[in-house]
Amino acid sequence: MSEQELQQRIRLELGRGPVRLWRNNVGALRDERGRLVTYGLCKGSSDLIGLSQVVIGPEHLGQTLALFTALEVKTVRGRLSEEQEKFLRLVQQLSGRAGVVRSLEEARLLLGGSDLTA
C-alpha cells in the first residue's frame, strides 16, 4: 500500500466520532505574478492533523476537550525528515497526540485504541 493510500484509509476509517483528521499538504508555488505562495500548516508538519476528544478529570469540572493530533504517515521503508521529527516532538511536548504511523492499527493505537470505530 502506498503512503497516499494509507493516509486516505486512516483519515476515512479513524477520522470520525471522537477524532477528526484532515490532510495537511505543505509546499509552495508561484502565482500568476510570480510571487511565492506557501501553503499548509508549516514545514515539517504532519500528513494528517486534527483533534482528538478527551474527557478530563474533576479538576476541570468534567469538561470535554480536544487535543491537537498529528499523524506522520510513512510506509514501512519511509523515513522522517529532521523537520518532521521536530514537529512531532513539539506536539508531544505540548501534550498533544503525535507520532509516526505505518499501518491502520498503529494509527488506531495512537489515537486511543479500542474506543475508535473500526
- Per-residue pLDDT band for 116 (boundaries 50, 70, 90) equals low
C-alpha cell, 112: 486511543
Strand order across the 64-73 sheet = 19-23, 48-55, 64-73, 97-101
- Top pLDDT among 74 and 115 is at 74
| Distance from C-alpha of 2 to C-alpha of 24, rounded to nearest angstrom | 17
Average pLDDT on 6-26 reads 95
pLDDT over 70 (residue 118): no
* Model pLDDT for residues 38-64, shown as the tens digit of each residue: 999 999 999 999 999 988 888 888 888
Give the contacts of 66 (CB within 8 A, at least 6 positions apart): 51, 52, 53, 54
* Model pLDDT for residues 49-102, shown as the tens digit of each residue: 999 998 888 888 888 889 999 999 999 999 999 999 999 999 999 999 999 999
CB 18 within 8 A of CB 10: no
pLDDT over 80 (residue 27): yes
| Distance from C-alpha of 65 to C-alpha of 89, rounded to nearest angstrom | 21
Domain 3-112 has CATH 3.40.50: no
- Strands 27-30, 64-73: pairing is unpaired
Give the model's pLDDT for residue 3: 93
Highest mean pLDDT among 13-17, 63-67, 114-118: 13-17
